[in-house]
């Protein structure tokens, strides 16, 4: 009589193989997906007489072995065509080394004394903007042809290390530009601001990648990111700070705590090129104020993202002050929402660039059913006189992102429709963004208003704005802006501009 042991052994082998495949299928499911059922393998139970293991133990329990002369864990050498029409890669202005987003073999790298592999490449890219624009603010009319060129050079050393520089050789953040002034008559003529200034120059990297020998099996906490140099400091969506400063920052990412899926902590120190205030004309030149900061951002179990930023500014030319900002971003059903609270607290008395106040902001938006069109309603309230810790002269007021009526265009002397002082003020915008021809063009209509809460001169205003943008080809964008606003004691203001942008 024949023994059934070989048959039972083969049955257990097949059951173990099927259990492993089931475990791998569940493990490959995207993190955002919700499984409606769970296989025995995924649940960590026994299948037949064979225990099913997970993670690294599963790999060790089912070692890779040659089947029919092939390694089952080896990626195929066969080329599989991508199931979509090929899109040719745009050529940047200049590049050296492995092409950015290119294909083909990767060049061999260079090993550093610390064991890191470097694959250097350089990319020069940017955009050119040219615009005809006219603005009448009720007191003075400005008509001009303004130009702006942004150049960025990125020296890519590895997947985590790079050196980046930026230039604006045709204009300046203070409003000087290269072009032609048509009005007012006493300023008619050619304007030029050709300059070799670097607007940014910084290096960033990751300590654990630069010295991989510190953590060969990636089990410790040496994945610490850092950046040093002249770079953008942007906090609370530009409300608390929005400037280019000389700074060093150190970040620890991927921390977990009960109730937090991911926590990121950043410490920063800025030592120069800090511009304080809200761009209200009192002082818009950088000096050597120092900024100390601690920033935290976390994704929570409540399906929202929280951020908390604390800054201290020490200034030998102005008042020392504390700054704080907290925000929460989440969805309520189909409604997108962000709420922010920012405060500025001077240590001593107030100054033209340092005020005491609290700025509240609410941003609500919703995509309309059956379309990609978007409706948004944004509001702010400034109790007292909140001032930013650092704000570039071309960044408008702390509520610049409230809508197109509060947002600067960033070139020439074209003003901001509702960009007056926000001291002791309330404001709101209601907008409708339409997407036409897929995503090739968009049209925005917006109405906005602002009013003084109490005291001081009345700066109440109401305005209507519109913006049309259209992509032409793969590098060009046409943009049209127009607005009209009625301002208390200043009469009506209006503006129109036509801009052409080339990306390279």
Q: What does the pLDDT look like over 282-315, one tens digit per residue?
A: 455 666 789 999 999 999 988 899 999 999 999 9
Q: Is residue 35 part of a domain?
A: yes
Q: Is residue 34 part of a domain?
A: yes
Q: Is residue 19 part of a domain?
A: yes
185 φ, ψ (degrees, to nearest 5): -60, -35
* Spatial separation of the C-alpha atoms in residues 39 and 314, rounded to whole Å: 60
Give 451's strand partners.
426
User: Which pLDDT score is estimated for 72?
Assistant: 66
> Are the beta carbons of 300 and 263 closer than 8 angstroms?
no
Predicted model pTM = 0.79
Q: Is residue 328 part of a domain?
A: no
- Per-residue burial over 34-69, b if 16 or more Cβ lie within 10 Å, else e, is eeeeebbbbeeeebeeeebbeeeebeeebeeeeeee
User: Which pLDDT score is estimated for 460?
Assistant: 86
- Beta strand 141-156 pairing with 121-136: antiparallel
User: Which pLDDT score is estimated for 489?
Assistant: 72
* Spatial separation of the C-alpha atoms in residues 316 and 251, rounded to whole Å: 28
- Other CB atoms within a 10 A radius of the CB of residue 98 amount to 16
* Spatial separation of the C-alpha atoms in residues 319 and 298, rounded to whole Å: 32
Q: Is residue 395 part of a domain?
A: no
- pLDDT tens digits along 183-192: 998 889 999 9
* Spatial separation of the C-alpha atoms in residues 486 and 139, rounded to whole Å: 13
User: Which pLDDT score is estimated for 83?
Assistant: 66
SS3 of residue 249 by DSSP: strand
User: Which pLDDT score is estimated for 64?
Assistant: 42
Q: Is residue 227 part of a domain?
A: no
What are the CA-CA distances from residue 182 to residues 134, 146, 149, 185, 497 (Å)? 9, 11, 21, 7, 14
- Beta strand 141-156 pairing with 162-167: antiparallel
Q: Is residue 362 part of a domain?
A: no
> Are the beta carbons of 268 and 291 closer than 8 angstroms?
yes
How is 31-96 classified by DSSP, letter by letter? TT---S---HHHHT-EETTEEPP-HHHHHHHS----BTTB-TTSPP-S----SS---PPPP-SEEE
- Which residue segment(s) compose the domain that 34 sits in? 5-61
Instruction: Please state the domain count of the chain.
Output: 1
Residue whose pair of structure tokens reads 């009448």 in the numeric block? 136
**Cβ contacts of 361 within 8 Å, gap of 6 or more:** 239, 338, 339, 340, 341, 342, 378, 379, 380, 399, 402
Q: Is residue 41 part of a domain?
A: yes
Enumerate residue ranges in the chain where pLDDT < 70: 1-73, 82-84, 281-287, 455-458
């Amino acid at each position: 009589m024949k023994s059934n042991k070989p048959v039972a052994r083969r049955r257990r082998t097949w059951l173990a193989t099927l259990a492993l495949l089931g475990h791998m299928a569940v493990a490959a499911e995207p993190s955002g997906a919700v499984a409606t059922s769970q296989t025995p393998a995924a649940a960590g139970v026994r299948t037949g007489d064979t225990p099913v293991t997970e993670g690294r133990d599963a790999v060790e329990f089912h070692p890779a072995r040659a089947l029919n002369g092939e390694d089952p864990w080896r990626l195929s050498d066969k080329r599989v065509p991508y199931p979509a029409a090929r899109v040719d890669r745009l050529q940047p202005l200049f590049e050296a080394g492995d092409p950015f987003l290119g294909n083909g073999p990767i060049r061999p790298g260079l090993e550093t004394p610390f064991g890191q592999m470097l694959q250097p490449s350089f990319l020069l890219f940017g955009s050119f903007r040219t615009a005809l624009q006219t603005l009448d603010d009720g007191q003075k009319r400005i008509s001009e042809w303004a130009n702006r060129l942004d150049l960025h050079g990125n020296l890519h050393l590895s997947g985590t290390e790079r050196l980046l520089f930026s230039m604006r050789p045709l204009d300046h953040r203070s409003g000087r530009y290269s072009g032609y002034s048509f009005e007012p008559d006493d300023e008619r003529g050619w304007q030029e601001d050709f300059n070799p200034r670097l607007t940014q120059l910084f290096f960033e990297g990751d300590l654990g990648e630069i010295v991989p020998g510190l953590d060969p099996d990636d089990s410790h906490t040496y994945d610490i990111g850092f950046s040093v140099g002249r770079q953008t400091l942007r906090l609370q969506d530009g409300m608390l700070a929005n400037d280019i400063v000389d700074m060093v920052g150190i970040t620890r990412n991927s921390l977990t705590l009960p109730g937090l899926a991911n926590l990121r902590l950043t410490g920063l120190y800025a030592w120069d090129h800090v511009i304080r205030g809200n761009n209200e004309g009192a002082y818009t030149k950088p000096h050597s104020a120092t900024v100390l900061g601690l920033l935290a951002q976390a994704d929570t179990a409540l399906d929202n993202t929280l951020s908390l930023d604390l800054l201290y500014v020490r200034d030998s030319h102005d008042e020392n002050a504390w700054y704080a900002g907290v925000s929460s971003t989440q969805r309520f059903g189909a409604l997108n929402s962000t709420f922010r609270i920012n405060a500025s607290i001077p240590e001593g008395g107030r100054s033209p660039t340092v005020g005491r106040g609290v700025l509240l902001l609410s941003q609500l938006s919703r995509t309309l059913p059956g379309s990609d069109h978007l409706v948004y309603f944004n509001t702010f309230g400034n109790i007292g006189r909140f001032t930013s810790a650092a704000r570039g002269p071309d960044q408008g007021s702390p509520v610049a992102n409230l809508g197109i009526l509060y947002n600067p265009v960033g070139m020439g002397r074209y003003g901001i429709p509702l960009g007056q002082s926000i001291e002791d003020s309330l404001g709101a915008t209601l907008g409708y963004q339409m997407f036409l021809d897929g995503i090739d063009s968009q049209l925005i209509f917006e109405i906005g208003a602002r009013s003084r809460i109490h005291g001081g001169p009345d700066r109440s205003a109401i305005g209507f704005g519109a913006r049309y943008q259209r992509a032409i080809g793969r590098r060009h964008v046409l943009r049209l802006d127009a607005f009209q606003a009625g301002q208390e004691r200043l009469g009506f203001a209006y503006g129109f501009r036509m801009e052409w942008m080339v990306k390279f």
